[in-house]
Every structure is written in C-alpha cells, then in structure tokens.
Structure 1
Amino acid sequence: MSLAVIDIGGTTLKFGCYDEVPGISHQTSVKTPQTLGLFYQTLQTQVRELQRKATITGVAISSPGSVDQTAGIIHGASAVPYIHHFPIVAELTKRFQLPVTIENDANCAALAEVQAGSATDVRDVIFLVLGTGVGGAVVLDGRIHRGRHLLGGEFGYMLYGNDDTVSHLGTIVNAADRYNRANGTDLDGKALYELAKTGQPLAQKAVRDMLQVLATTIFNLQYSLDPDCFVIGGGISQNSDLLADLNQALDVVMAKVEIAPIRPIVRIAKFQAEANLYGAVVNFQQRQRSR
C-alpha cells in the first residue's frame, strides 16, 4: 500500500510517499498557497506527481486546527484560514478520487511516537509540543483521545497562577521574549538557554521559571490522566540539556507533595521534521481498520 502523505503548515506544505519499506520517500515541500483554489491546485499537482512514481491508494494529511474526523471538518483557527469550517475531507476525496484522512498535527506527531518512536512500549502517553505555545496530544490505549469539544491535548490553555497560561509561561520562546523586554536584549530561546548555562543569573532565573511551569504541568497531568509517560517534542526538545534540567525541576515539584508516590517519566521525541507525516500514515491506517 502506497500513500500520498501531506503536512499542511502555515509556511510550507510537505509531501511524500509512504510504503512500509522504505517508509517515507520522494519528499518535497512548497510554499503554502494564499488561497483555497491554489491550495487545491497544489495538492492535486503534487499527488499526481507521486502517482507517477507509485500506485497511490490513499491520501493521509496532517493539519493544524481541531479536526472532526467524523464530519471531515477542520474546526478552530490556524495560519491557513481557508481550510477551516467546511467539509474539506469530502471535497478532497472527490478531487483525488481516493480515500482521504486528516488529523491534527500534534496528534499526528504523538501517533508517530507511539507507533515507532519514544513511546512504542506503552499505551497511554501525553505528548507535549513546546513551540511558541504549548500544545500536544493525549493517547489512551494507543489511540488519540480528542475530547467532547476536540480539546484533548490543548494544554496551553491551562491556567498557571491566578491570571496567566501554561502557553505563555511554559516555553523558551516566551521566556526569551520576557527576558529581552526586561533587559533590552534580542535573544532567541536557544541563545537564552545557552546564556543560562554560562551562569548568568537573570538568564538562569528565566529558564528555571519556565522549566518549573512545565514540571508543575507534567506533575498535574500525571495525577489527573495518569499516563505511562510523557514525550516532549518541539524545537526545544533538540536541546541535549532539556531532559536533565526538566527532571531537576520535577525534583522540586515532587518534594512539595510528599504523599505523591508516582514520579512522571519524561522522554524526548524521536521524530522531528518527519513526525507529522509518519503520524498521518498511522491515523490513515487506524481509520481504515475502524471502517
């Protein structure tokens, strides 16, 4: 079975062809079009190109937004506004004359980790995507838990303290923004983390505060959803110091709740750039088996 796989992003559309062996091949990317008409045209052109190289039997798509797989509609909002709030799966199915599935991008990344990444040995996983904000996914018994209003995994909305959110306080991107405004600098998140490692006190505090928010959030999720483990993705997950530093922050949290017997297990995501493509394939396969 060969699948055309597509990852819809605000800047680029990624394409590839999936076969069990060798996996995802013939990868390419193009700039995300500005209109729905050009979007359709681009997808059809790229899928036709893949059909010249393989016998395509379906199209698996990763997308931003809250995806209602039953209705085939992408709710919510994203940097690609024209894909929302209409039966897009039905429209693409008609255009491709092939089965089409669409799943949220964070959910796809989580499915990739469960299928062939850092969480292959467990069934219940919380996946945290740390970018500009905090997103993620909940996987229960190997399947995405979407929730009644498709809000499963939207951890960034959670309040931290009286009047701020986990998304605002729990990412290195926003930590760098706060540091820059306070100190008249222009550091990105990576540079702030590196500065903190040199022992600069204000940078250390900025990173420590961010890690404390993440550790507290992970602790709270452990004692509400009780997963086997947590998997961290997003740009900061490529920082080799993150796991040790986050575990130190968890030490502080665990010490505050002495009656808590279970310490959260945290892992780093295996997949990076290809996570959404692989996860789109897993979702397609699950949807086909359930029909």
Structure 2
Amino acid sequence: MSGRHTAPVVGLDLGGTGIRAVAWQDGRITASAEALSTELGAGPVHNRIEGLARLVTGLLPPGTVPAAVGVGASGPVDNAAGIIHNQDTLPWFSDFPLVDALRKRLGVPVLIDNDAVSAALGEHAAGAGRSCDRMLMITLGTGIGAAMLVDGRPVRGLDGAHPEGGHLPVGSDPTVCYCGLTGCWEQAASRSALQRMLRARLGEDHPARETLRHGSEAASGDPGVRRIFTEYGALVGRGLAALHAVYQPRVTVIGGSAASCLPLFADGLNQSLTRSAAYTVPTEIRPAELADSAGAVGAAVLALDHSTA
C-alpha cells in the first residue's frame, strides 16, 4: 500500500453531518478538506455530483486527476450497484447511482463501501489497528457503525453487503428506530444519543462538538454529568458485548466523534463487558488514532487497493 504512484488516490467520507476528503499517497495524507453534508447535498443530483467532484479535484494540483476515488457512506450501501440506500441519515446522496455519476464526471475508477468498513480499513492501515489479524471497529457518530476485519478484509453478509451491526436490539425502549426495531443500539448509544442526554442535563443546545466539549468540562464538577457518561458507556457496552461474543476480535477500536469522551465513559463500558471467566473475550479496546480522518483514509485505501490490483 505504500508504493509510489504518479497520482494520489482520494477518499471521501460521507456522513450525516459532514463530508471529509483526503488525498492519500505513499502512506500519508497529502491534502484534506471538509464540507457540510447539507450544503454539498443541496439542489439537483447534478449539483451534488459536481460538488463532490470539486471537493476531490480541489485536493490536487491543477490539471491532476486522482488514480481512483473511494467513498465511505453511512449505509445501507449497495456496493455492486454503487448506490446508497439511506434516506434516514444521508438523504442527499441516497437512491441514485452516485458511483456511476461520479465516475463519469471524474473519468477515474470510483469504489464505495459502508462508512464503518472504510473507517476500519483506515485504522487497520494507519491507525490503532495496524496489521491486526482480527479487528473490530465501532464508530459513534450520528448513528453507530460496526465493522469486523479478518486479516484486513471485512466480514460480509450472505449477499455481499455489510451487516448493519449498529442496529442490534439492546434495550426495552419502545421507540421504533428507522431500522424497524425497538430498543435499537444506535438509538441508545450513538453520539447523537449522548448529545441528547447531555443537553437534558445542561440545558444547552449546541452543535455536536460543543455539546461534547461542554459535557466533558462539566463532568469534573457535576456528579450528574458523570453519571450520564457512565450510563452512556454502559449502553455502548451492551451492543459491544454482543459483537464481541459473535466476532471474538483481538482488538476493538472505538472511533467517531463520541470517542473523544472515551475516558469519561470507559467505566460504564467496562461494566457492560464484564463476564464470567469462561465467557470473557480477551479483546483490547483502543481509541481510534485517525480521529475524524479514519473514514476518508479508509476510503482512500479502498481506492488504492483497486488501483494497484
């Protein structure tokens, strides 16, 4: 993955809040950019493709095209057709042939995968899961993503699609998730859920990063806020315990924007993961190293693998 190429690959991470893009060459980020999903996704489909294309070409010297482009997107994602089916958290880029349109616009190969897979590929290539043979990654963002890599390759479902591990039933909350389940892990333990919990306590309404920052600062002097983080960690652990039982990872990487609060919710997380000795899964839990860049880097790795195949 580190051989020199005449042009870098580009990775796009399409999230429910923001879009991140990186140019990747010789095992490092050479340029990066961000945009709001609501802004780049405005207008007709042609405008959305043009916005993504400008984001890609803006990372490169004038007149340069990437060797390939990888896209990570919050799913469900039809990898074969190159179409995202996620009207609930990514409506701006769903239900049209995004990959085909971007390929025609840029004139280069374009690959797509679930954003949890791309984040896992990024951390496996250049982050907390470097070269790990059995690595699980969860991303705590607008929703919850989960991906298991075995020898660097994602575990797939029967139809070749990525299993939606963020939609496990973990509680008794009667609220129906958009996936159709009640007690859904994503509804209980995403970063969005943590924001709601903190806002109810702090009485504030800020963007995600500000809410998490204010909550982290308040935790040192407010026992109620500390309890919220402990409760949140326990909810994260409920779903993670199920994934550990099924996948038996050697390393679990926790990413997404809520991962910045891992020291505050680690106690609750560990409580939920505590099992009797015969059922303990000896996995090492690590915070993501690439932070918000993991998905875009992994998407670039996806593109690089194709361009060097």
Q: Using the alignment, how far apart are the partners of 2:14 and 2:218 within structure 1?
A: 34
Alignment deviations for residues 159-186 of structure 1 (CA, whole Å, 9 cap, x no partner): 12334222232246424524644x5733
Task: Indicate the residue corresponding to 1:18 in structure 2.
Answer: 24
Out of 275, 279, 289, the position equivalent to 1:260 is 279
CA contact (8 A) 1:106 1:137 kept: yes
TM-score, normalising length: structure 2 = 0.78
Would you say 1:126 and 2:146 are equivalent positions? no
In the TM superposition, what is the alpha-carbon distance from 1:119 to its structure 2 partner? 0.6
- Alpha-carbon distance in structure 2 between the residues aligned to 1:78 and 1:230: 27
Range with greater deviation from structure 2 (60-69 or 277-286): 60-69
CA distance in 2: counterparts of 1:172 and 1:104, whole angstroms: 18
Q: Highest Rg: 1 or 2?
A: 1
Task: Give the alignment of 1:47-66 within 5 angstroms.
Answer: 47-49=56-58, 50=60, 52=62, 54=64, 56-66=66-76
Conserved 8 A contact 1:157-1:167: yes
Task: Report what 1:158 is aligned to.
Answer: 168
Pairing partner for 1:95 from 92, 105, 110: 105
Q: CA RMSD in A?
A: 2.9
Structure 2 gap ranges (5+): 174-182, 206-210
Farther-moved stretch of structure 1 (98-107 vs 280-289) = 280-289
2:203 maps to 185
**Hey, what does 2:177 align to over in structure 1?**
none
Residue in structure 2 matched with residue 168 of structure 1 by the alignment? 187
Secondary structure of the residue that 2:112 maps to in structure 1? strand
Change (3 A) 1:73 1:192: same
Q: 2:231 aligns with which of 174, 198, 209?
A: 209
Deviations 1:43-81 (A, max 9, x none): 344445536264532222233332222222222335542
Larger relative contact order (Cα-Cα within 8 Å, sequence gap ≥ 6): 2
Residues 260, 177 of structure 1: alpha-carbon distance in 2 compared, 3 angstrom cutoff:
same
What code does the residue aligned with 1:250 have? N
For residues 68-83 of structure 1, what are the structure 2 equivalents within 5 Å? 68-77=78-87, 79-83=89-93
CA shift, 1:270, in A, is 0.5
Residue pair 2:68, 2:304 contacting (<8 A) in 1 also:
no
Q: Kindly provide the CA deviation profile for residues 118-150 of structure 1, in whole angstroms up to 9, marking residues without a partner as x.
A: 011412211111124322222222112232363
Once the two structures are overlaid, the 10-residue window that deviates more, 223-232 or 206-215, is 206-215
1:228 to 1:25, Cα distance in 2 relative to 1, 3 A = same
**Aligned equivalent of 2:295, options 267, 276, 283:** 276
For residue 14 of structure 2, the aligned residue among 8, 15, 19 is: 8
* Cα shift at 1:106: 2.2
Identical-pair percentage: 23
| Deviation of the 1:213 alpha carbon | 1.9
* Letter aligned with residue 115 of structure 1: A
Q: Identify the residue that residue 221 of structure 2 maps to in structure 1.
A: 198
Mapped partners of 2:217, 2:204: distance in 1? 14
For structure 1, the residue ranges without an aligned partner over 5 or more in a row are: none
Normalising by structure 1, what TM-score? 0.82
Aligned to 1:40: 49
Judge conservation of contact 1:5–1:18 (CA < 8 Å) in 2: yes
Number of equivalences: 283
